[in-house]
Chain A
Amino acid sequence: MLGELAFSLAGGEVAALVGPSGCGKTTLLRIIAGLDGDFEGSVALPAHGMLGMVFQEPRLLPWRTVEQNVRLAAPQATDAALDTLFQALGLAAHRDHYPGELSLGLARRVALARAFAVEPDLLLLDEPFVSLDDALAARLRDELADLVNRRPVTTLLVTHNVEEAIGLADRLLLLSLSPARVLADVPVTRPRTPRTADELAAMREEIAKRINQAHL
Chain B
Amino acid sequence: MGARLISLVLLIAAWYAGSQLAGARLLPDPQAVALAIVDEARSGALAFNLGATLARVAVAFTLAMALGSVIGLVMGRSRLADRLGDPWLIVLLNLPALVIIVLAYVWAGLTETAAIAAVALNKLPIATVTVREGSRSLDRALDDMAQVFRMGVWTRMRHVVLPQLAPYLAAAARSGLSLVWKIVLIVELLGRPNGVGFEIGVAFQLFDVTRILAYALAFVAVMLAIETFLVQPLERHVSRWRPRSA
Taking Cβ atoms with an 8 Å cutoff, the residues of A that contact B are 30, 33-35, 50-53, 55, 57, 59, 61-64, 68, 72-75, 98, 100-101, 114, 118, 124
Q: Are B241 and A98 in contact (CB under 8 A)?
A: yes
CA separation between A33 and B243, bound complex, in Å?
Answer: 33
Out of A52, A61, A118, A124, which one reaches B163, CB within 8 Å? A61
Cβ of B147: which chain A residues have Cβ within 8 Å of it? 34-35
Q: How far is the CB of B42 from chain A (nearest CB, A)?
A: 48
Interface string of B10-39 (1 = CB under 8 A from A): 000000000000000000000000000000
Cβ of A33: which chain B residues have Cβ within 8 Å of it? 144, 148
Out of B141, B145, B163, B242, which one reaches A100, CB within 8 Å? B242
B151 part of interface (Cβ distance < 8 Å) = yes
Cβ of B151: which chain A residues have Cβ within 8 Å of it? 72-73
Contacts across chains A and B counted by CB atoms under 8 Å: 54
Q: Report the interface size class on chain B.
A: 10 to 19
Knowing A61-B142, A98-B241, the reply to whether A35 touches B148 (Cβ < 8 A) is: yes
Interface residues in B149-167 by Cβ distance below 8 A to A read: 149-151, 155, 159-160, 163, 166
CA separation between A50 and B149, bound complex, in Å?
Answer: 8
Knowing A73-B151, A100-B243, the reply to whether A59 touches B159 (Cβ < 8 A) is: no
Cβ of A98: which chain B residues have Cβ within 8 Å of it? 241
Q: Are B149 and A35 in contact (CB under 8 A)?
A: no
Knowing A61-B163, A114-B149, the reply to whether A35 touches B142 (Cβ < 8 A) is: no
Out of B148, B150, B160, B243, which one reaches A61, CB within 8 Å? B160
> Across the two chains, which residue of chain A brings its CB closest to B242?
A100
CA separation between A63 and B243, bound complex, in Å?
Answer: 11
Q: Are A59 and B141 in contact (CB under 8 A)?
A: yes
Out of A35, A50, A100, A101, which one reaches B144, CB within 8 Å? A35
8 contacts between A and B (CB under 8 A): A30-B144, A34-B148, A50-B150, A53-B149, A61-B160, A72-B149, A72-B151, A100-B241
Cβ of A73: which chain B residues have Cβ within 8 Å of it? 145, 149, 151
Q: Are B141 and A57 in contact (CB under 8 A)?
A: yes
CA separation between A100 and B163, bound complex, in Å?
Answer: 15
CA separation between A124 and B149, bound complex, in Å?
Answer: 12
Q: How far is the CB of B39 from chain A (nearest CB, A)?
A: 49
Out of A30, A72, A118, which one reaches B159, CB within 8 Å? A72
> Across the two chains, which residue of chain B brings its CB closest to A111?
B145
Q: How far is the CB of A198 from chain B (nearest CB, A)?
A: 40
Besides the known contacts A50-B150, A55-B145, A73-B145, 12 further A-B residue pairs in the complex with CB atoms under 8 A apart? A33-B148, A35-B144, A51-B150, A52-B149, A55-B141, A59-B141, A59-B144, A61-B160, A63-B241, A64-B159, A73-B149, A124-B148
